[in-house]
């Protein structure tokens, strides 16, 4: 299957993250095994109907089917790019439409509590929580930050697809980073691993949980919701979060029960 060659292509041509590499490698190997178990020649030589047969055998959920489709399509694109196939056998796989669920930001009081705790801790977990909660970073973006990405006022964040966005660092973030830099064991990585290089996402996730019992992505949801409520500007939130599509940002415009209650209280107060 030459999976390692496929992954090297993904790094060079698509700038895949470590997490994406792991997921795609697992997916294409699983597809290849399934096809061989059915008596076919494996994924590199599979026909479009055979790939569809494999895809139809997967759990019937949008998340499972869409991720499998992405992995198979990218593998097919690689086969075409290196001249092993004339066309991608997975190109005709459909996309399962899935409705985005409502984000689950932290309540304001809990957000303030966690932020104060993280800002005071001066640990990798604390620094990461501050960056995610105040800048809206994904955990994968947080682990790959270098000190050279921060100039004191702006942080240059490499997001999905290798796209770099510029995010302003408010005073609290500046203070936390300045204090952390004085004790950080690495001159290169903001969140270094004890073994050199950046800290892994699973390790960082565990350290964040050690400070507060929240999914790290909830911090990104919290920042997005807070920004939208303060500014009402969906495009601004899109730029800060690094969403390629505005539809990804618009999920934060959903009306929540607490916002409805707040609006009603304001209405009643004005009427009184």
Position 188 pLDDT exceeds 70: yes
User: What does the CA dihedral 189, 193, 196, 200 come to, rounded to 10 degrees?
Assistant: -90
More confident position, 147 or 224: 147
| Set 85, 160, 179, 181: catalytic member | 160
Of 22, 23, 31, give the one whose Cα is nearest residue 1.
31
Q: Is 24 a catalytic residue?
A: no
In the prediction, which pLDDT does 102 show? 57
Residue 272: pLDDT band (50, 70, 90) is very low
Q: Which fold has domain 108-260?
A: hpI Integrase; Chain A (1.10.443)
Q: Is 252 a catalytic residue?
A: yes
Q: Is 195 a catalytic residue?
A: no
| Mean per-residue pLDDT of the chain | 83
Position 245 pLDDT exceeds 60: no
| Set 65, 207, 220, 221: catalytic member | 220
Max mean pLDDT range (95-109, 158-172, 228-242):
158-172
Average of pLDDT values for 173-179? 95
For residue 150, the SS3 value is strand
Residue 88: pLDDT band (50, 70, 90) is very high
pTM (whole model) above 0.75? no
Of 160, 162, 197, 155, give the one whose Cα is nearest residue 176.
155
Residue 218: pLDDT band (50, 70, 90) is confident
In the prediction, which pLDDT does 271 show? 44
Phi, psi of 194 (to 5 degrees): -60, -20
In angstroms, rounded to a whole number, what is the distance separating the alpha carbons of residues 162 and 270?
49
Q: Is 52 a catalytic residue?
A: no
Phi, psi of 200 (to 5 degrees): -70, 155
| Set 134, 138, 205, 221: catalytic member | 138
- Each domain of the chain, given as residue ranges in start order, spans 3-81, 108-260
């Amino acid at each position: 299957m030459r999976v390692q060659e496929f992954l090297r292509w993904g790094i060079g041509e698509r700038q895949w993250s470590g997490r994406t590499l792991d997921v795609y490698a697992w997916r294409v190997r699983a597809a290849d095994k399934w096809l061989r178990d059915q008596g076919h020649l494996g994924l590199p030589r599979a026909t479009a109907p055979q790939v569809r047969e494999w895809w139809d055998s997967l759990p019937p959920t949008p998340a499972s089917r869409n991720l499998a489709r992405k992995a198979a399509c990218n593998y097919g694109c690689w086969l075409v790019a290196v001249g092993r196939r004339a066309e991608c056998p997975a190109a005709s796989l459909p996309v399962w439409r899935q409705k985005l669920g409502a984000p689950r930001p932290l309540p304001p009081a809990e957000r303030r509590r966690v932020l104060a705790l993280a800002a005071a801790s001066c640990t990798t977990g604390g620094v990461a929580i501050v960056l995610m909660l105040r800048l809206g970073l994904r955990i994968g973006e947080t682990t790959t930050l270098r000190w050279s990405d921060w100039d004191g006022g702006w942080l240059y964040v490499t997001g999905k697809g290798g796209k770099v966005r510029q995010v302003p660092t408010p005073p609290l973030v500046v203070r936390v980073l300045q204090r952390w830099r004085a004790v950080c064991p690495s001159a290169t990585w903001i969140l270094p691993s004890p073994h050199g290089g950046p800290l892994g996402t699973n390790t960082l996730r565990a350290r964040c949980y050690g400070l507060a019992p929240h999914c790290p992505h909830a911090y990104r949801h919290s920042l997005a919701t807070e920004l939208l409520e303060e500014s009402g500007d969906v495009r601004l939130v899109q730029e800060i979060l690094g969403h390629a599509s505005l539809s990804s940002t618009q999920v934060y415009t959903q009306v929540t029960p607490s916002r409805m209650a707040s609006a009603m209280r304001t209405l009643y107060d004005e009427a009184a």
